[in-house]
Amino acid sequence: MKKGLLLFIGICMLISISAVSFAGSEPDPSGGGTGGAADVVGVTANAPSADDLQNMAATEPLAVKLADVIGHNRIAINMVWTLICGFLVMFMQAGFALAETGFTRAKNAGHTMGMNFMVYAIGMLGYWICGFAIQMGGVGGVATLGGATGLNGEFIINIFGKDFGLFGTKGFFLSGSTYDAVIFSVFLFQMVFMDTTATIPTGSMAERWTFKSFLVYAFFISMFVYPLHANWVWGGGWLAQLGKNFGLGHGMVDFAGSSVVHLTGGVAALAGAMVLGPRLGKFKKDGTPNAMPGHHIPMAITGVFILAFGWFGFNAGSTLAGGDLRIGVVAVNTMLASAAGAVSAMIYMWVFYEKPDISMIANGFLAGLVAITAPCAFVNSVSAVIIGLIAGILLCMSVFFVERKLKIDDPVGAISVHGVNGAWGVLALGLFADGTYGAGWNGVSDGVRGLFYGDFSQFGAQLTGVITNIVFVFTVMYVFFKVLDKIVPLRVSEEVEREGLDMAEVAVLAYPEFSISSSVYR
Amino acid sequence: MKKIEVIIKPFKLDEVKDALNKIGVTGMSVSEVKGFGRQKGHKEIYRGAEYMVDFVPKIKIDMVVSCDMADPVISTILEHASTGKIGDGKIFVSSVEKAIRIRTGESGKEAV
């Protein structure tokens, strides 16, 4: 008893808890005060230094004034880029809605669309209430956007002398010091990424999930689960600091979110599908699966194309800077990986399952996109293609593993597209990053380099991040779904499931003219 | 009067309809059905899961004609709906007790 107490006190002495708050500038809600001469300093190879601006003020007054405009324009280019890319990612919601609805049955189309639709609205509010604050409250200034220093509160625990950032403390309801033009832009960009995660489980849980319990889930994931892990990787939290603290490469690096967005979504999708159980009739008595073909392949493929289009915003936008000319490389790596994923999935299906199944090829296309999302800024084109080829094969193998070995019913392959390939993307960065980009990332000098280019420790950081994500998200979401099921039942009744969820859950039939009812023939 | 139900391959519908119009059949209803006879279905595969498609899409034509039209209709259908391959379909003939035109109230042969 005494030994336990002494041990406990000893540990407490090593851990100190603090909410760090560093000095921030005044918030700028109109945007008029953001972007000036200071944003010109050191931004190109031959840019003036701060001393230059000071010393030359007397001899070249016009130049100094112009520097102010130029600095403003630089910030403007970056903000416009960030916002436009954010709008593209928002459009991916339509892509998810169309892909999921096309790959599931007609009788549930209204409900599937309804979930993908409401996850945007609810996720938005949940994120505005506290999700953004938890994720980005302590990220500090966003240099490419010339401000956002109002995000200066991070809750940190200090263990054995090292700081572990856990969550942000500024930005609730986007109020107070966070009512700022730059911070609002960051909110928009980050929110649409969060929504991508939130919409992934609607795929694995389609065709049998009650709308009520889905709404509770949407709040929970947008307010707490996504933001916590996102803080650790992108908000300046402890996974990002693995490099500074423990010498693991540049800390965990995830450029646009293979883990933060897709792995989180895929793992949540897995937990949800496990708790929910398979659709009625999905598995025969002996456990072999029955086919349940999607009802609208053109809709699904259109959705997949919309996702690929939005992904340009997803990946290239993550520079948060139109002036960062790596965006061309990012965009091209993205498209190459998608093509490679589609091709390898096609070959796999043709070889092992007789025909090039377009639904699996479309999944392979998306898998390539998911896998390149982390490494897209750090690899060359050959690596991007290899990463995509492997993603397509992993996707096919995973779909069959999840369905046949784990006996989990995933109507659209969400677990395999986002979960498995999200993990692959993060690890692929730890292998293929070639050092040509990322100097100074997470406070570590030099470019980001992976195992094949000489840095083993980066792979270690990536592995730590993947394991953390899987353990954290799965545990929290599994417990959440189990508890939620007791309060608001997750699954619709057998009658509703057989008839179709549309009328019972969302009060509209997706295709009323295809069912015989007198109200249609007026 | 006779009711003639015909099950044919879908792509034969236009040809059969035109041929029947030519010999004086003035009305018919058409529905999309699925079925099998000795043709049986075939195996399909979706995302690696095999499933049997037992029912093959067909078109069913229903028409009621006067007794003397029955044989000409049958031979016209046999001539135009047949491909010689399995799955060409079937013709069923049954007796009709009454037929009435709703607009005018006519019955019997005048109604068909």
Pick the CATH number of B2-111 from 3.40.190.10, 3.30.428.10, 3.40.50.300, 3.30.70.120: 3.30.70.120
Chain A contact set for B41 (CB, 8 A): none
Identity of the residue numbered A329: V
- For B23-89, the DSSP string reads TT----EEEEEEE-SSS--EEEEETTEEEEE-PEEEEEEEEEE-GGGHHHHHHHHHHHH--SSTT-E
Separation in Å, CA of A518 to nearest CA in chain B: 19
Rounded-to-integer distance, Cα A51 and Cα A63, Å: 14
Q: Do A399 and B47 touch (CB under 8 A)?
A: yes
- CB nearest to B49's CB, from A290, A349, A355: A290
Rounded-to-integer distance, Cα A140 and Cα A130, Å: 17
Neighbouring CB atoms inside 10 A of B93's CB total: 14
pLDDT in tens, chain B (112 residues): 999 999 999 999 999 999 999 999 989 999 999 998 887 778 888 888 888 888 889 999 999 999 999 999 999 999 999 999 989 999 999 999 999 999 999 998 888 8
Name the helix (H) or strand (E) containing A62. helix A61-102
Cross-strand pairs, B31: B60
Separation in Å, CA of B80 to nearest CA in chain A: 31
Residue A93 covered by a domain: yes
Chain B contact set for A354 (CB, 8 A): 45
Chain B contact set for A357 (CB, 8 A): 45-48
Which residue, A305, A203, A320, A188, is CA-closest to A256?
A320
User: Which residues of chain B are at the A interface, by a Cβ-Cβ cutoff of 8 Å?
Assistant: 44-51
Identity of the residue numbered A384: A
Rounded-to-integer distance, Cα A155 and Cα A12, Å: 17
Assigned token pair, A403: 């369905």
- Domain containing residue A483: CATH number: 1.10.3430.10
Q: Which residue of A has its CA nearest to B51?
A: A291
Separation in Å, CA of A403 to nearest CA in chain B: 10
Name the helix (H) or strand (E) containing A216. helix A211-220
Residue A57 covered by a domain: no
Contact in structure between A391 and A424 (CB atoms under 8 Å): yes
Contact in structure between A403 and A289 (CB atoms under 8 Å): yes
- For chain A, what is the radius of gyration of the CA atoms? 24
Separation in Å, CA of A424 to nearest CA in chain B: 22
Neighbouring CB atoms inside 10 A of A276's CB total: 23
Question: How far, in Å, are A91, A309, A318, A321 from residue A85 at the CA level?
Answer: 10, 10, 8, 10
Q: Phi then psi for A194, rounded to 5 degrees?
A: -60, -40
What torsion, rounded to 10 degrees, do the Cα atoms A423, A425, A428, A433 define? -140
Question: How far, in Å, are A238, A290, A439, A444 from residue A243 at the CA level?
Answer: 10, 48, 13, 7
Q: Do A359 and B51 touch (CB under 8 A)?
A: no
Q: Do A400 and B45 touch (CB under 8 A)?
A: no
Q: Which residue of B has its CA nearest to A354?
A: B45
Rounded-to-integer distance, Cα A183 and Cα A87, Å: 16
Residue A1 covered by a domain: no
CA atoms within 13 A on the CB side of A82: 28
Separation in Å, CA of B108 to nearest CA in chain A: 30
Q: Phi then psi for A234, rounded to 5 degrees?
A: -110, -20
Q: Where are the domains of chain B?
A: 2-111
- The DSSP bridge pattern shows strands A153-159 and A162-168 to be antiparallel
Q: Phi then psi for A375, rounded to 5 degrees?
A: -85, 0
Contact in structure between A403 and A273 (CB atoms under 8 Å): no
Residue A464 covered by a domain: yes
Rounded-to-integer distance, Cα B25 and Cα B112, Å: 9
Sequence-ordered list of residues with C-beta below 8 angstroms from that of A216, at least 6 positions apart, any chain:
A484, A488
Residue A483 covered by a domain: yes
Assigned token pair, A396: 């096919």
Separation in Å, CA of A360 to nearest CA in chain B: 6
> What's the domain count of chain A?
1
Predicted pLDDT at A467: 98
Q: Which residue of A has its CA nearest to B52?
A: A291
3-state secondary structure A128-196: HHHHHHHHHCCCCCEHHHCECCCCCEEEEEEECCEEEEEEECCCHHHCHHHCCHHHHHHHHHHHHHHHH
Neighbouring CB atoms inside 10 A of B21's CB total: 11
Residue A456 covered by a domain: yes
Predicted pLDDT at A514: 80
ipTM of the complex, rounded to two decimals? 0.78
Separation in Å, CA of B62 to nearest CA in chain A: 20
**Cβ pairs bridging A and B (under 8 Å):** 34
Q: Do B51 and A290 touch (CB under 8 A)?
A: yes
Rounded-to-integer distance, Cα A365 and Cα A356, Å: 13
What residue ranges of chain A have pLDDT lower than 50? none
Q: Do B49 and A360 touch (CB under 8 A)?
A: no
Contact in structure between A4 and A11 (CB atoms under 8 Å): no
Assigned token pair, A121: 């609205």
Residue A13 covered by a domain: no
Residue A81 covered by a domain: yes
Predicted pLDDT at A3: 77
Q: Which of B32, B45, B46, B54 to mutate to test the interface with A (most CBs of A within 10 A)?
A: B46
Q: Do B46 and A357 touch (CB under 8 A)?
A: yes
Q: Which of A279, A282, A284, A292 to mutate to test the interface with B (most CBs of B within 10 A)?
A: A292
Q: Do B47 and A354 touch (CB under 8 A)?
A: no
State which residues form the domain around A244: 73-502
Owner of token pair 């990332």: A441
Predicted pLDDT at A182: 95
- The DSSP bridge pattern shows strands B89-95 and A162-168 to be unpaired
Assigned token pair, A49: 């230094």
